Amino acid sequence: MMYAIIGVLAVALIATIYMIYRQSKKIDLQKKMLTEKYQHEMAATIEKYRDQQLTIEEEFHREVMEIKENHDRETAFFRQSVSQLNRYIDDVQSYAKKSSNVSTYQALYQLKQRWIDENKILDEDMIIMPNVFIPFYTEDRIKTCRVDHLILLPTGIYSIEEKHWKGKIIHGLTDKNAKEFSFLLDMVQAKPFIQVYEQTLVFSSASTVEGQDDSLGLLYVKAYADPAKEAWNTAKMVSRFLVSKMGAIINDVTPILYFNHQHQDHSSEGVIDLSKDSSVIRVGHEKELFSLLEEQFDRPMLYSREDLRKIKENLEHIHYIRDSIEM
């Protein structure tokens, strides 16, 4: 009886062990299947993202190449434009030197040499720069502002706007001071201008107009927009440019309006200045200009000789793209 019980227990134990073994094998098989499934899905996911990465890299590389090609084209176009602009500026500077500007430069140079000979100044104390072009942006285009003459002195920077007008010049006309002669402003259609700015009229006889017969006794009248305003704007442009290059060391540039035609007949030529504008210095004769410049040496010194040298250097080496100022 005991052996029978032992036998039954042995069989039960063996069956239990076998069941545990079978369950363990089943679990191992499920684990293996799950692991293989996971590995398969992981490999598929990795492959998928690798493909996506390759696609992204190819797309990125293509976009980079397109950007590079566009940049190269734009750079080439930009360099070509800069080259054309510089050639254009050089041409303009070469051909824009009017005979009146040249004669004024020669006169200023002779004045400087005389002052040097008289030991009033040294060569570095007066720098004369004719025909200076200041670049600026307006409406997404680069333009230039021409300065007829720049005079650099220890006491300041002076911008000369030169007008070589022959005849009798009446500067600073307004509705108020024209009085009974305001009909002249109507006839030359200057009224719209003088409501805001002063106006300049130049009266010329036929003898001063090339190709006209003086025997007919004709009188020519020409109206100009305010040249003093033009001189003021030019001086401000120079001042803004120099401040952008040298900072607070730069003081305001002084504008000078110079009517430089050397008249002989004071009755029919010369300047009648009616303007009340004190922002622009106006001179009507070479002697007046020379006296004005000589007076400037009595004013307080603003710039050292080294400052003047740097100002001259900045004006002589203008990059017409990089140095353009915004309007």
Taking the C-alpha atoms of residue 47 and residue 112, their distance in angstroms, rounded to an integer, is 84
Q: For residue 288, give the H/E element and its range.
A: helix 286-296
Taking the C-alpha atoms of residue 261 and residue 164, their distance in angstroms, rounded to an integer, is 5
R_g over Cα of the chain: 43
DSSP secondary structure string for all residues of 35-84: HHHHHHHHHHHHHHHHHHHHHHHHHHHHHHHHHHHHHHHHHHHHHHHHHH
Average pLDDT, integer, range 107-127? 94
- Beta-carbon neighbour count of residue 129 at 10 Å? 16
Q: Is 218 left (phi over 0), alpha (psi -120 to 50) or beta?
A: beta
**Whether the predicted pLDDT of 279 surpasses 50:** yes
- Beta-carbon neighbour count of residue 274 at 10 Å? 16
Average pLDDT, integer, range 225-244? 92
Quote the tokens at residue 91: 């041409």
**Whether the predicted pLDDT of 284 surpasses 80:** yes
| 75 or 88, which is more confident | 75
Residues found in the chain: 327
**Whether the predicted pLDDT of 262 surpasses 70:** no
Taking the C-alpha atoms of residue 200 and residue 197, their distance in angstroms, rounded to an integer, is 10
Average pLDDT, integer, range 223-239? 90
Give me the chain's average pLDDT, please.
81
pTM of the model: 0.68
The confidence score (pLDDT) of residue 194 equals: 45
The confidence score (pLDDT) of residue 256 equals: 97
**Whether the predicted pLDDT of 96 surpasses 60:** no
What does DSSP assign to residue 95?
H
Taking the C-alpha atoms of residue 31 and residue 25, their distance in angstroms, rounded to an integer, is 10
Output the CA–CA distances (angstroms, integers) from residue 79 to 175, 317, 323, in the order listed.
51, 18, 15
Taking the C-alpha atoms of residue 301 and residue 269, their distance in angstroms, rounded to an integer, is 37
Q: In what order do the strands lie in the sheet with 219-224?
A: 219-224, 199-205, 168-173, 270-273
The confidence score (pLDDT) of residue 155 equals: 95
pLDDT band at 91 (very low <50, low <70, confident <90, very high): low
Q: Can you state the angle between helices 99-117 and 286-296, rounded to 10 degrees?
A: 50
* Identity of the highest mean pLDDT range in 19-28, 124-133, 217-226, 270-279: 124-133
